[in-house]
A and B are shown apart, each in its own frame.
Chain A
Amino acid sequence: DQQVKQNSPSLSVQEGRISILNCDYTNSMFDYFLWYKKYPAEGPTFLISISSIKDKNEDGRFTVFLNKSAKHLSLHIVPSQPGDSAVYFCAASALGDSSYKLIFGSGTRLLVRP
């Protein structure tokens, strides 16, 4: 039972264009969402997060949008750079005693072509 789904295993975009990575969730108790970036043979590194009380959070070239009614979030990277090529994981956590526990999607591999 996948509670966090990333339906696109891969995405290829041209350098300078926008990259849009999507994530859907099923658990209505999730109220905090994060994106992690992972290079090969390295651990995931935190990129950006959003609380369910917001619908947008921006940090430089990275913006996360949250649509609670659709249980959908997306990560926009603009402009995309070759160094952004990595696997991006969406993760969620639920309010409560286990809020430390992150539920990850299966990841989307982004390739930014020079």
Chain B
Amino acid sequence: NAGVMQNPRHLVRRRGQEARLRCSPMKGHSHVYWYRQLPEEGLKFMVYLQKENIIDESGMPKERFSAEFPKEGPSILRIQQVVRGDSAAYFCASSQSASRSNTGELFFGEGSRLTVL
């Protein structure tokens, strides 16, 4: 009964390269959320997806960032032309539904730590 799986755990990119972070939700979960944690800060909401749909991307930077959750396969957070300020831990979470009563049952992955040189 695997939890939320994220890979890679660590990713190093040079400025201008692309970063792709993958997230496989818990079995039976169809709701995926991405959060970003900058150094010494709390987690900040980026995007909420269901299968093949972006429900809320209000926390995503307007440029260079995109997310998808295809019918088959993991959710992917893509950062194009990375800059040093993108260095952070990116956490994926999943839930069985988005209902309020399940808010506490948001299961987080171990995160992907992106370092931009």
B91 and A100 within 8 A (CB) = no
Q: How far is the CA of A105 from the CA of B41 in the complex (A)?
A: 8
| A28 interfacial by beta-carbon distance below 8 Å | no
Number of B positions contacting A (CB below 8 A)? 28
Q: How far is the CA of A8 from the CA of B95 in the complex (A)?
A: 30
A32 and B100 within 8 A (CB) = yes
Give the segment of A14-22, A39-47, A68-76, A77-85 that binds chain B.
A39-47
| B110 interfacial by beta-carbon distance below 8 Å | yes
* With A32-B103, A98-B56 as contacts: A43 and B108 at CB distance below 8 Å: yes
Beta-carbon nearest neighbor of A105 in chain B: B42
**Chain A contact residues: over half helix, strand or loop, or mixed?**
loop
B103 and A34 within 8 A (CB) = yes
Q: How far is the CA of A36 from the CA of B109 in the complex (A)?
A: 13
Residues of chain B within 8 A (CB-CB) of A42 are 110-111
Residues of chain A within 8 A (CB-CB) of B4 are 43
Number of A positions contacting B (CB below 8 A)? 27
Interface string of A17-59 (1 = CB under 8 A from B): 0000000000000001010100001111110010000000000
B103 and A93 within 8 A (CB) = yes
* With A100-B33, A101-B56 as contacts: A49 and B104 at CB distance below 8 Å: yes
B41 and A106 within 8 A (CB) = yes
Question: Could you tell me which residues of chain B, from 97 to 117, have a CB within 8 Å of some CB in chain A?
Answer: 98, 100, 103-111
A102 and B45 within 8 A (CB) = yes
Residues of chain A within 8 A (CB-CB) of B58 are 98
A100 and B98 within 8 A (CB) = yes
| B43 interfacial by beta-carbon distance below 8 Å | yes
| B48 interfacial by beta-carbon distance below 8 Å | yes
| A12 interfacial by beta-carbon distance below 8 Å | no
Beta-carbon nearest neighbor of B95 in chain A: A100
B interface list, Cβ under 8 A from A = 4, 31, 33, 35, 40-45, 48, 56, 58-59, 91, 93, 95, 98, 100, 103-111
A-B interface, 3 closest residue pairs, ranked by CB to CB distance from nearest: A43-B108, A104-B42, A100-B98
A interface list, Cβ under 8 A from B = 4, 6, 9, 32, 34, 36, 41-46, 49, 89, 91, 93, 95, 98-107
